[in-house]
Amino acid sequence: MASFATFSVGFFARPLGGLVFGHFGDRLGRKSALVITLLMMGVATFCVGLLPTYEQIGFVAPLLLVLLRFIQGIAVGGEWGGAVLMAVEHAPEDRKTFYGSFAQLGNPAGALLATGSFGLIAAWDTDLLYSWGWRLPFLASILLVLVGLLIRLKVEESPVFSAMQEKQDLPEELPLREAVRGSWRSLLLGIGILPVAVGGYYIVTTFLQGYAVTDVGISEQVILNALSMAAFVELVATPLVAWLADRVGTVRVVVAGLVGVIVLALPQFLLLDNGSTALIFLMLGLMRLVMAAVYGPIARVLAQMYPPRTRYTSISIAYQVAGAIFGGLSPIVCTALLAATGSILPVAGLLMLMALVSIACLVKAPWYRDADLATAS
């Protein structure tokens, strides 16, 4: 639980990042906010790999780690909304879900790189992993930052923001105040749509990994390999289900994914106790497939729930508040439920309940077409 609490710090910083960079994104443009957040995230992640140990500087070491997690959280809080809007607002109407899904690929791609790199180091030398090998992926992340910075400096500003800029239709007051006053119901619905997309993911990855290794006794190498395979499944499936959503309906695909989460929630954990390695791989892959149907199209769902004048602020606040509540607390709550009951059943029940809340809010959500955005504010 102490480890998960450190993990949660970044999530609790995300709403602050959403406020700060949502303000700049709605007033000054999506592109500038994305460049700043990338640099913040890149520097903080690289510095994690340089941290001195507890043996070297005592309690200052974990404090520095928490500080860097906080900076990462602020960066992500402003990053996600801008990335989604740049993708969706640049896309033609009949391919917005597909374009928006590419902003979601960072999650499975990052998970694949993380579990894959740590899995390789652990397979090479477990002692090396725990001594200094864990630093290598953090230090290597600077290469991704340089590539991302080059891309973001060259990309054009969002056409929706550019049109508002030409019409001088930007927020005259704080975007947050305007968003809360004009779209508070949509903000609450946006938060309610996201329990599985942002919280369920960490139940089936972060918590599941700790539970499988510590409580069930499965080899850490087996779980890392299974999660790497599952991340690859999600990486491939995300644009495919988004492409399908543009043709059969975005909301329909997300609801189908949520139903899949409900069906697989309990079998996924039971197989950890009783299943073979092949069945564990299969079940984790299936879960990430249905999670892709939830997470991939959700970018477009949120982007089209809010009018353009405060879209960056609105989408960031909804996503990051949900991230703080469901993403930050889910591993801790699941660990507490497991400790209190000695059973995995309440954890599976919590995941099912989160999916039901998501479905209920999704069917009530408003929907704006980009063609109507000029008059939707």
Look at the alpha carbons of 23, 27, 33, 34 in this order and tell me if their dihedral is positive or negative.
Answer: positive
Per-residue confidence at 368, pLDDT binned at 50, 70, 90?
A: low
What confidence score (pLDDT) does residue 54 get?
83
Where residue 125 falls (left for φ over 0; alpha for ψ -120 to 50; beta otherwise) is beta
**32-41, 64-73, 162-171: the lowest-pLDDT one:** 162-171
Residue 377 pLDDT greater than 60, yes or no: no
How many percent of the chain have pLDDT more than 70?
Answer: 92
- Spatial distance between the Cα atoms of 294 and 256, rounded to a whole number of angstroms: 8
The full DSSP string for 268-284 is: HHHHHHH--HHHHHHHH
Amino acid at 329: L
pLDDT reported for residue 8: 67
Q: Is the pLDDT of residue 65 over 60?
A: yes
Span 304-329, pLDDT tens digits:
888 877 888 888 888 888 888 888 78
b/e 155-179 (16+ beta carbons within 10 angstroms → b): eeebebbeebeeeeebbeeebbebb
> So what's the pLDDT on residue 58?
86
- Res. 291 pLDDT band, cuts 50 70 90: very high
According to the CATH classification, is domain 2-363 in 1.10.3720.10? no
pLDDT in the model for residue 371: 54
Q: Does the pLDDT value for residue 373 go beyond 50?
A: no
Quote the pLDDT of residue 312.
Answer: 83
Q: What is the pLDDT of residues 91-116, one digit of tens each?
A: 888 888 898 888 888 777 877 777 77
Whether the per-residue pLDDT at 374 is higher than 60: the answer is: no
pLDDT at residue 56 tops 80: yes
pLDDT for 32 beyond 90: no
Helix residue spans in 194-274 (DSSP H): 201-202, 208-210, 220-248, 250-274
Percentage of the chain lying above the pLDDT 90 cut: 24
Distance from C-alpha of 216 to C-alpha of 280, rounded to nearest angstrom: 13
* Amino acid, single-letter form, for residue 304: Q
Q: Where are the alpha helices (DSSP H) in the chain?
A: 2-27, 30-48, 54-57, 60-90, 96-104, 106-124, 126-128, 135-154, 159-166, 175-193, 201-202, 208-210, 220-248, 250-274, 277-303, 311-322, 328-341, 345-362, 373-376
Q: Please give the pLDDT value at position 247.
A: 92
The whole-angstrom separation of Cα 32 and Cα 304 is: 22
Q: What pLDDT, on the 0 to 100 scale, is given for residue 375?
A: 42
pLDDT computed for residue 376 by the predictor = 40
CA distance 288 to 281: 11
Query: Which of 151-155, 264-268, 366-370 shows the lowest mean pLDDT across its residues?
Result: 366-370
Cα–Cα dist 190/211, whole Å: 30
pLDDT digits (tens, 9 = 90+) for 344-360: 999 999 999 999 999 99
pTM value surpassing 0.85: no
Chain mean position to CA 176: 22
Read off the DSSP letter of residue 168. Answer: T
In this predicted structure, the answer to whether residue 135 has a pLDDT above a threshold of 90 is no
Determine the pLDDT at residue 274.
75
Return the amino acid letter for 170. L
- How far from each other are the two terminal CA atoms of the chain, in whole angstroms? 44
